[in-house]
Structures are given as C-alpha cells and as structure tokens.
Chains A and B, each alone.
Chain A
Amino acid sequence: MPDERYTVHVCHGTGCVSGGAEEVYARLGTIAGSGIRLKRTGCHGFCQQGPVVVIEPDGIFYCRVRVSDVGDIVASLSTEGRPVERLLYGDPAAGRTIIRYGEIPFYRRQERILLRNCGRIDPEDIDDYLATGGYQALSRALEMSPEEIIAEIRRSGLRGLGGAGFPAGRKWEACRRAPGTEKFVICNGDEGDPGAFQDRSVMEGDPHAVLEGMAIAGYAVGAARGYIYVRAEYPLAVKRLQLAIEQARQRGFLGRHILDRDFSFDIEVFQGAGAFVCGESTALVSSMEGNRGFPKPLPRPRTTESGLWGKPTLLNNVKTFAYVPKIILHGAGWFASRGTDKSKGTAVFSLTGKVANCGLIEVPMGTTLRQIIFEIGGGIPDGKRFKAVQTGGPSGGCLPADLLDLPVDFDSLTAAGSMMGSGGMVVVDEDTCMVDLARYFLDFSQRESCGQCLPCRLGTRQMFAILDDITRGRGRPEDLARLEELGRLVARSSLCGLGQTAPNPVLTTLRYFREEYEAHIKGRRCPAGVCGL
C-alpha cells in the first residue's frame, strides 16, 4: 500500500446513508488523488449531523456533507490548507466552530469502548477489523479452558445489555452445565424499542466484534451453532453481518476447526418478521421454530436449559456479545474498573428527542442523566425547558427534572420506576404532553401484545382507552385511580416481560406528572398544547 497521508472516513450508518453518504463516498472516489485513502465506516454516532466525514490522522470532523462539498474537502487536503470552514461543527454553546471531533462536547464527555470501532473501521472489510486486534481474543480464548473463560466473564461483572441486566457469567455457566450435546448460541438483535438504535449501529458498524463474541461464547458453553436474530427493519445490519460471516469463514474464524483447533462453530442470520414481543427470549425462540412469537407459558424452563428446539441455548444481546472479546483481551479487572458497584463497564444510549445533539453515545455506568443530556446532548434546543427523559422504551418510564442527578445504571433506573431497557433515551421538553406520551406507549404495547394472556391483551387495551379518553377531554376523576389499579394488575399478572413492564410509562407519568393528568381531566386543558382540547 502506498504512503497515504490521510484517511477519509465516510460514515455509512443508516442515518448518514439516508442523508446521501453513499453519493459523497462515490464522488470522493472519483476525485480524491493519491495520498488519500477512502474508508466506509459504520456509525460515528453523531447521526443528527450526518452525513459525517472524518479526516484522520488529524481527526477533522465535517458534518452535513453534500456531494457538492467534496471538491473543497479534497482541495484542502491536497494543499494541506485550512479545513473547509463551512463544514465544521458549529458549537452553539461556545458560538464557534470546532475542527477536531475529540474536542466536540458531544464526543469529549464520552468513553467509547464498545463503540470504539464504530466509525473507525470499514465494517465490510475483515482486514480492518484484524488491524485493530480483531479475533485475537478468540485466539486467546481457545488457549483457555471453557471454565476459565466463564470465570473471567463472571469476574468482570458483565450484565446482559438487552435491558434486564442478568449477570452474563451466570447465564453462560448455566448453559454450560445444562445436560445435552447439542447447544445453541443466539444473539438477540431484535431491537424493537421505538427510539433505540444502538444494537443496529453495533451490528452495522462492528459486525465482527459480535461474531467473535459469539464464537467465544460457543466455545465456552459447548455450542457449535449460532444465530443472530435481526429485526426485519434493519436491512443494512443484515447485509453487513452476512458479509462479515462470509469473510470470517474464509479466514477460518468460523466454520470447522477454527484456528486449527478442535472447535467448530458457525453462525447464521435469522431475520425477524416484525413483532416486538420477539425480544422476549421464549417468544424469539418460538418464532425461530416457525411459530407465532408467543412467550412460553409458566412454569417455563430456562432458555439455558431448554431453548431452541428444546436444546440448551445461550441468548444474549448484541452489545453483550460485542463486549466479550474486549473483556477476554484486556481482562475482567479492566472492565470492572469502570462503572458502579453493581453495574460495571459502560452503557450505550440512543440519545434522541428534544435535545440539541442527537446520536449514539457511550458513557461509564453511573454517569448522571444531567451529564448525558446537558453536557453530551448540549441541552434542550430553541430555548425550551427540559421536562422529562424517557428511558427503556415502552417498558421504561419518564423521569422528571428532580431526578436529573440520578446516576444511570441498571438498579437506580429500576428504583426510579424506569429501566435501562435496550438503551433508548428520549428527551422531551415543555411542548410534549406527558399524557399523550403515555398514551403513545400504551398504544404501542396494546398493538404489540401477542394476545396470548388476558391481562396484557385486554389490560393494555383498557389502559389505552382510558388514556385516549383523557387526551380527548373525556377523562373522569376516577380514571387516575383506575389506571393505577389496572397498571399494577397488568404488571403483576402478565405472562412475560412485555405485559409486566407495559404499565411503566403510565405509572411513572402518574407518579411524576400527575398535575398534567389533572389539568386534562378537571380543567379540560392540555398544558403542553398537544391534545386538541
């Protein structure tokens, strides 16, 4: 390879592609001269500013790049002149432009470990992954015994990043110990929470990390087959994963006798068909078996004992698997040195809604909501006031301004009535009606209820009907008590996590924003002016 003074990274995440990144890349390909290497990368995180172009090694960050800007970018590189001023990020707080992305507040306050490769490597080129130390963890893992790997994962304190936060090491151990010669590893990429896209970004931006983590897991639990369950709405993730699987097979990281050892493991992509409930493990398995996505009735066996086709199955989220190679390579202590007492490592969030800087972020567990929303997110745009932040999607809750100093980890969010969930974080301002937002989530949950158990099927529908009445000015004073009673009932008696958590958006808004409900009912007035009362 000739000496290349610059590498031009063109973000090819779904967001930037929708903004024209492919055209920008193509144009660069036509006019960039020698000395410039072009690289298609996964999501750089600052999707709102897309298409994003980053020039390394200087770290120059260009945003909202159009095809017509490409000429100026190339000219500035070939003359080693000033960066193209109009494409630099303008920091609204400081009132100036910033050249390097590391100095942009959105990036400066983050700690990108899981997302390190996203936006830096070409996800369609295995050599780029190998150049960052890719598949070294697999090689090291195969030198270890399965028990040693599981002990390392346990010591790291890694918890399932799909939302529930179950200790990963314990799950792996249960699957390893489950009797049976045929076992499966499944990666849950059915990110169904509306408002969350971090799993998509990892699958699109660093697909080999997911494959490598799964292969290590396969070796640890004694499985020879793995599946990645990806939702149908993520065609680009499917394409990149399939390409990565192909490349990994060619290089001997997947398939028979991996790295010439007595270990065989292969992975297939299974595309979900659009059902939120399939994020629940037994429903996911059921859909892979060619059935409706019904969660299994109670008492149900653990998936680690009886999962796909009744065989022991290890099911973890995309991010959990993507973390595994890093833990094996850097050690459990390295991972556990970040985060809080009970939530180790970092958390990845999709920060969206009424916040100045929207995008994909990663922070150590225990970072406060205020730091995330005001320092990384840059606060609320248009001079509006912060009202609430919604975490955990339809299973989570809305937290008010008083809780802005809450450290974000699995347990503190749950204690506040919300949850980590898959990592959606939607900020809302004074123009958002909390009753309308609760109605929105219940509308989602009642549509997505699989219909199998009565409390969820009818309970969520009934709660939605009451909320709908309130937003239409037909609320009655007794509705609030009824919503709370129904909410507790649905949470307690539903069959699976969907129904058990569906009331959270209602219960938290009733807890923290009761006066808005009362204004709708008693005053026939929507304080945010959203409901046409």
Chain B
Amino acid sequence: MSGELSLVREILAGYGKSRGALIPVLQEVQAALGYVPEGAMVEIARHLGIPASHVYSVASFYAQFRLQPLGRRRIAVCRGTACHVRGAPEILKELEGLTGIREGETSEDLEYTLETVACIGCCALAPCVRVNDEVYGEMTREKVRALFPDSEEAHRDAG
C-alpha cells in the first residue's frame, strides 16, 4: 500500500489544487494501479482540498472507476443496441460459463473480471467483446471459447 500511495502522490504532484482535476486524477490513478483504493481517495482529497466523501461520491458515480482490484484479463461484453440485437446476451452467458463468474465480478484468483460496457462503438462488427484493450468483433459462442483455450469448460466441450 505504501508503494501505491507514493505513486498516487507522484501523480498528484502533476496537478494543481483545482477541483476540476478530480476526474483526470482518478483516471490516472486507476491507469497506474488498476483501481482506485480507499487510501488513494483520501490522499487525493487532501491534495485537492476537498472532502474525501466527495472523492468517493464521484468515484462511485462513474462507470469507469473500480474501487476493487481487477482481474488480469478484463473482459467487457458490449451491450450496445447493435450487439444486443445480434446476440450479446448469449455471448455474456457463454463468458459467465467459461469464467465461472457473473457480470460485474472478479474471480477470486484475480484472473478474470467480467463486465458489460454500454457501447464500444464497433457496432458494425456486432456483437463485440473487449479483452483488456483488444476489441474482438462478430463474436460467436465458438469464437468466445477460442479466446479462452485454458478454461475448464472449453476443455470439457472439446473433450
């Protein structure tokens, strides 16, 4: 945690005391740590001169911010309209089966985080899935399984 805190302080040093810096700071902290820990929120509040409750209020409002550590493979199923009408719900179900976790959860071994995203903007290639920063278009159940060759379920299906 102390390593994390010094990283947060380093990030804060690049910003003035303007309240308008709050969202950019939260984004930078999350990019560095993968999530926004409680200690970081307190530190940000101190630096910007605003109550920690306000930092929490903002961090918990926006979909982008994670208050818990994320898995190494962050899987986001696009639930945009084009993806929805072209089968996103089945893709999500398949992924829930493969990872053993539900939408919004992170696996205990921190391998996977499964989430949905409002729209990636790749609607012409619907349905889409994003794994970390890679976007995969025109997904099918088979193509989803191919993304996770190591999962138990994929083995069972193959066997």
A binds B: yes
B124 in contact (CB, < 8 A): yes
Q: Nearest CB to that of A273 among chain B residues?
A: B62
Most buried by B among A276, A350, A359: A350
Residues of chain A within 8 A (CB-CB) of B134 are: 18
Residues of chain B within 8 A (CB-CB) of A424 are: 81, 123
Closest Cβ of chain A to B125, distance in Å, is 5
Chain B proximity mask over A213-240: 1 for CB below 8 Å, otherwise 0: 0000000000000000000111100000
Q: Nearest CB to that of B79 among chain A residues?
A: A194
Most buried by A among B19, B20, B119: B119
User: In the complex, are the beta carbons of A292 and B61 less than 8 A apart?
Assistant: yes
- Number of A-B residue pairs at CB separation under 8 A: 149
Residues of chain A within 8 A (CB-CB) of B74 are: none
Q: Nearest CB to that of B123 among chain A residues?
A: A352
A288 in contact (CB, < 8 A): yes
User: In the complex, are the beta carbons of B118 and A18 less than 8 A apart?
Assistant: no
Q: Nearest CB to that of B120 among chain A residues?
A: A233
User: Which listed residue, A48, A271, A428, touches B125 by the CB 8 Å rule?
Assistant: A48
Residues of chain A within 8 A (CB-CB) of B122 are: 14-15, 18, 47, 197
User: In the complex, are the beta carbons of B81 and A393 less than 8 A apart?
Assistant: yes
User: In the complex, are the beta carbons of B57 and A233 less than 8 A apart?
Assistant: no
Q: Nearest CB to that of A277 among chain B residues?
A: B61
Residues of chain A within 8 A (CB-CB) of B133 are: 235
**Contacts A14-B135, A426-B85: A50 and B20 contacting too (C-beta < 8 A)?**
no
Cα(A50)–Cα(B122), bound, Å: 11
Cα(A14)–Cα(B136), bound, Å: 10
User: Which listed residue, A46, A50, A271, A289, touches B27 by the CB 8 Å rule?
Assistant: A271
Chain A proximity mask over B126-152: 1 for CB below 8 Å, otherwise 0: 101000011111000000000000000
B32 in contact (CB, < 8 A): no
A30 in contact (CB, < 8 A): no
User: In the complex, are the beta carbons of B119 and A353 less than 8 A apart?
Assistant: no
A487 in contact (CB, < 8 A): no
Residues of chain B within 8 A (CB-CB) of A235 are: 133
Cα(A46)–Cα(B123), bound, Å: 11
B86 in contact (CB, < 8 A): yes
A346 in contact (CB, < 8 A): no
B24 in contact (CB, < 8 A): yes
Q: How many residues of B contact A (CB 8 A)?
A: 43
Chain B proximity mask over A286-306: 1 for CB below 8 Å, otherwise 0: 011111110000000000000
Cα(A270)–Cα(B25), bound, Å: 11
Cα(A264)–Cα(B26), bound, Å: 30
**Contacts A197-B123, A352-B126, A359-B124: A440 and B26 contacting too (C-beta < 8 A)?**
no
Closest Cβ of chain B to A244, distance in Å, is 19
**Contacts A274-B64, A292-B58: A437 and B121 contacting too (C-beta < 8 A)?**
no
**Contacts A14-B135, A194-B79, A353-B82: A270 and B24 contacting too (C-beta < 8 A)?**
yes
A366 in contact (CB, < 8 A): no
> What's the interface size class on A, roughly?
35 or more
Closest Cβ of chain A to B82, distance in Å, is 4
A390 in contact (CB, < 8 A): yes
**Contacts A19-B137, A393-B81: A290 and B121 contacting too (C-beta < 8 A)?**
no
A501 in contact (CB, < 8 A): no
Closest Cβ of chain B to A188, distance in Å, is 15
B110 in contact (CB, < 8 A): no
B23 in contact (CB, < 8 A): yes
A75 in contact (CB, < 8 A): no
Cα(A441)–Cα(B20), bound, Å: 32
Residues of chain B within 8 A (CB-CB) of A18 are: 122, 125, 128, 134-137
**Contacts A233-B120, A293-B62, A440-B81: A19 and B20 contacting too (C-beta < 8 A)?**
no
Q: Nearest CB to that of B58 among chain A residues?
A: A292
Q: Of residues 425 to 447 in A, which have CB atoms within 8 Å of B's CB atoms?
A: 426, 428, 432, 437, 440-441, 444
Cα(A272)–Cα(B65), bound, Å: 11
Counting from the closest, the 3 A-B pairs by CB-CB distance are: A274-B63, A47-B124, A195-B81
Chain B residues in the interface with A (C-beta under 8 A): 18-24, 26-27, 48, 50, 54, 57-58, 61-65, 79-86, 117-126, 128, 133-137
Chain A residues in the interface with B (C-beta under 8 A): 14-15, 17-19, 46-48, 50, 191-197, 200, 232-235, 270-276, 287-293, 309, 350-354, 358-360, 390, 393, 424, 426, 428, 432, 437, 440-441, 444, 448, 450
Given A274-B64, A290-B23, A291-B19, 16 additional A-B pairs, CB 8 A: A15-B137, A47-B124, A195-B81, A196-B119, A233-B119, A275-B63, A288-B23, A290-B19, A350-B124, A352-B81, A352-B126, A353-B85, A354-B85, A393-B81, A428-B85, A440-B81
